[in-house]
Amino acid sequence: MGILTSGGDCPGLNAAIRSVAKAALNRYGMKVIGIMDGFRGLVENRTVLLDDRAVSGILNLGGTFLGTSRDKPQKMLMGGRKLDMTETAVQNLRKLQIDCLVCLGGGGTQKNALHLHKEGGVNVLTLPKTIDNDVAGTDTSFGFDTAMGIGAEAIDRLHTTATSHHRIIVCEVMGHNAGWLALGAGIAGGADAILIPEIPYDPAVVAEHLLDRRRSGKRFSIIAVAEGAVSRAGAKARAKENDSRKGRKKDRNGDEEQDGVSPVREPMASRLARELQQLTGTEARVTSLGHVQRGGSPSSADRLLCTLLGTRAAELLAAGTYNVMVAARGGRAVPVALEKIAGLRKVVPPDHDWIKSARMVDTCMGDRA
């Protein structure tokens, strides 16, 4: 088997590589080849033979020792041009005599793996990874629990300084299209308002909530905001903009990708903090957690999930079950046809119990519900 990690990294990737490889090597006597830097390493034929020693001692290590990239085989920047490198990827897998390619990644990776299967006849098997928790077909993805814990701890810490200074602190949490991380960390950290992409917010509603708190004697407030959250006015403008920039790879700050390198992103929460300071007359500060949430050691829950999903992956490979994602469902690891979930995104449903519970403990979700 070949194994690669693709898309943004997250805590738990090494634990997942370890569990797939250890079970495949020791239990089933397979040969395991690590592919460097995601699909780019596959196209450029950069590999490393993995034995038991190579995958030992990495359970608790953050990142991915194989390296990762956001490249896709069907549209890869090569010598300044974006080319379809699917055929090269398939040929390289043949040369390496790889019977099945195991891909660890998020939503994009599920699509790329299915593409290799459909266009190149490659046997693939995937595991759901992402701190955003937005992979469809699985209850959760590894990396999410760790990132949520980091977010909650940050919000805890912000509480003490916000209280001392009687300030508003806006804490930006990752999650471009899905609000799971901001919602989970916000509830666990006791944020007073939680703003997620699924519920466009009204700054006046948030400000009113903060003023209510002040009137009741609470002189500080913490807002957990997902990086992809938008105001109601912003949501309309964004829809228009998306129409006019179809096909062009522009960043949310309006900057374009240069030679395959995506632009540096500014925290989006600064604008919200300025607005809230103006509307409430209370001093505001901004903290953007950014990649801190993707770094460091995985939580115990993530290590456990990686081991469960990874060993099940090896078991499925040994049985010749391919073209599936190993999903977490009801505490078990089950195969789900890639065809059914690739291209779908799991966002927070507006009637989700987490949202209901947040509202019931007086957390403002930025709307008038």
In degrees rounded to 5, what are phi and psi of residue 265?
-95, 140
Residue whose CB is less far from ligand F6P, 112 or 311: 112
- 259 catalytically annotated: no
Interacting positions 267-296 with ligand F6P (CB under 6 A): 294
Structure tokens at 135: 């992979």
> Residue 335: helix, strand or coil by DSSP?
strand
From candidates 176, 238, 352, 359, binder to ligand F6P by CB under 6 A:
176
If one asks whether residue 198 binds ligand F6P (CB under 6 A), the answer comes out as no
If one asks whether residue 347 binds ligand F6P (CB under 6 A), the answer comes out as no
Q: Strands 168-173 and 47-50: what pairing?
A: unpaired
From candidates 34, 106, 151, 310, binder to ligand F6P by CB under 6 A:
106
How far apart are CB 1 and ligand F6P at their closest, in Å?
A: 25
Separation of alpha carbons 244 and 242, rounded Å? 5
Residue whose CB is less far from ligand F6P, 309 or 314: 309
Segment contacting ligand F6P by CB under 6 A, of 92-100, 127-135, 155-163, 276-284: 127-135
If one asks whether residue 131 binds ligand F6P (CB under 6 A), the answer comes out as yes
Find the catalytic residue in 37, 132, 145, 192.
132
Within 8 A by CB and 6+ apart from 257, the residues are 249, 250, 251, 263
If one asks whether residue 174 binds ligand F6P (CB under 6 A), the answer comes out as yes
Amino acid at 39: F
Burial of 21 (0-12, 13-18, 19+ CB in 10 A): buried
Give the Cα-Cα-Cα angle 220, 222, 225 (nearest 5 degrees).
155
Phi-psi category of residue 259: left, alpha or beta, with phi > 0 → left and psi -120 to 50 → alpha: left
> Residue 195: helix, strand or coil by DSSP?
strand
Count of residues engaged in binding ligand F6P, rule: CB under 6 A: 10
Segment contacting ligand F6P by CB under 6 A, of 83-91, 111-119, 172-180, 302-310: 172-180
How far apart are CB 238 and ligand F6P at their closest, in Å?
A: 15
If one asks whether residue 8 binds ligand F6P (CB under 6 A), the answer comes out as yes
Interacting positions 227-266 with ligand F6P (CB under 6 A): 227
Amino acid at 54: A
Amino acid at 111: K
What residues make contact with ligand F6P under the rule CB under 6 A? 8, 106, 130-132, 174-176, 227, 294
Residues designated as active site: 132
